[in-house]
Amino acid sequence: MSKLNLKISKPNDAWIFHREEVYTTEDGYCNIFVLLDAHSAFCFGQVASVELPTQVEILAVFNEAYSKALFWPKAVIASKKDPNLETLSAACRELKIALTLLPPQDLKKYVEPFSSGFREAITGAQSRQTPSEEEEELEAFIPDSYSPCTCASGKKFRFCCQPIFRELAFAMCAAEDGKLDEAMRYMKEAEAKVGATPEVLCRYAICWSFFDKEKCAEYSRRALDANPNHPRTNFICGVDARLAKRYDEALGYYNKALENYPAECRYQLNEVYNNIGTVYYDLNDLKSAKAAWEKALVLLPSDRMVRENLIEFIYENPDLPAELREISPFIRKFLERR
Ligand SMILES: [Zn+2]
């Protein structure tokens, strides 16, 4: 089921069932499921819903497509990570069409022509052939709705911290800009929506870190009381410990963050490895610093800071022995991507 062994050389060889996500002020995040021709990326039809569509709704889109294409495809292709696979398989079984599942990155080339037009229509943003560093970072930073939440609650992002994503992001920006009242207003809005969850308590701590160290410590403590494994709180405790030169303690916090961030959280994991590298650098253990920074680079190749750290302090550092300065072929691929 996983390997694409059908040839896509003309319309209707295969159709793609694909999900886009849009943010609307009335409904919050909304799924748009579309049916595309794999050869032309022509969109046959769509179903939009806040929840996942039902089998009846999926069948209706297929029937609409059939009325336009006048043929059934040889296969339907969907992402292995599609949250709606069960319903989609049932619909395909009913229509007697084979369903092929591909990793999301293999599906990209088929859906990109549609997606870029779609995003342009929604946001007015210009689409580019290759994503810029900012876009790559943004993509890694905002989790997919159906990925495990970055707060490690075990719930999917959509059913956990996504409803307060905007409030938290605005609160962080306001706090960074020195606007305490505004930051607190956004935090209270977030808290009103989901309660004083470990993530909310941790974000209060981050806001206060710009204004009042004691309040920051108090909120960090409360977040860890609520969940000792909360990855972001462990991360910020690591930052504090490192600033106070308590390096072992910092590494302990950072390792706990690493253990608890879901594997999908590339942006956050990159941040932790980056900081671990810096602690080892402070400790003058450059072998461990190199290993940590290289992990950070692999997680987020667009990260300019980690790239510069590696080049300046490791690969081109004349004080290091040759074997430590060596760049493995695997890492070289990531360095040469830019
Ligand atoms: Zn969460």
CA of residue 197 to ligand 1 center, whole Å: 8
Q: How far is the CA of 153 from the centre of ligand 1 (A)?
A: 6
Q: 0.85 cut: is pTM over it? A: no
Give pLDDT, residue 1: 43
Q: Residue 165 Cα, ligand 1 centroid: separation in angstroms?
A: 9
**Residue 265: strand, helix, or coil:** coil
| pLDDT tens digit sequence for 93-124 | 999 999 999 988 888 888 888 887 777 766 65
Query: How far does residue 8's CA lie from ligand 1's centre (Å)?
Result: 40
The region, left, alpha or beta by phi > 0 then psi within -120 to 50, assigned to residue 195 is left
Quote the ligand 1 centre to 119 CA distance (angstroms). 26
Residue 261 has pLDDT above 90, yes or no: yes
Q: Which tokens is 228 given?
A: 């000792």
**Distance in Å, CA 170 to ligand 1 centroid:** 17
Using the mean position of ligand 1's atoms as its centre, give its distance from the Cα of residue 163 in Å: 9
**Cβ–Cβ contacts within 10 Å for residue 252, how many?**
14
Is it the case that residue 64 has pLDDT exceeding 90? no
**Cα(283) to centroid(ligand 1), Å:** 34
pLDDT of residue 30: 79
Determine the Cα–Cα distance for residues 122 and 124; give it in Å rounded to an integer: 6
- Return the CATH fold of 14-129: Nucleotidyltransferase; domain 5 (3.30.420)
59 CA to centre of ligand 1 in angstroms: 33
Distance (Å) from CA 161 to ligand 1 centroid: 4
pLDDT higher than 90, residue 90: yes
pLDDT tens digits, 153-204: 999 998 999 899 889 989 998 998 899 999 999 999 999 999 999 999 999 9
Residue 67, class by beta-carbon neighbours within 10 Å (0-12 exposed, 13-18 middle, 19+ buried)? exposed
Distance from residue 216's CA to the centre of ligand 1 (Å)? 20
| Dist. CA 293 → ligand 1 center (Å) | 27
12-18 mean pLDDT: 91
Share of the chain above pLDDT 70, in %: 90
CA 312 to ligand 1 centroid distance, Å: 37
Q: Which CATH number fits domain 149-239: 1.25.40.10, 3.40.50.800, 3.40.50.300, 3.30.420.40?
A: 1.25.40.10
DSSP structural state of residue 44? E
List, for residues 116-164, the tens digit of each pLDDT value.
777 776 665 544 445 566 666 666 667 788 889 999 999 999 899 989 9
Q: How far is the CA of 160 from the centre of ligand 1 (A)?
A: 4
Helix (H, G, I), strand (E, B) or coil at 189: helix
Residue 129 confidence (pLDDT): 44
Q: How far, in Å, is the centroid of ligand 1 from the Cα of 210? A: 23
- What's residue 11's pLDDT? 82
- For the chain, the structural domain boundaries read 14-129, 140-147+264-338, 149-239
**pLDDT at site 134:** 63
Q: Tell me if 244 sits within 8 A of 207, measured CB to CB.
A: no
CA distances from 304 to 215, 238, 310 (A): 33, 22, 10
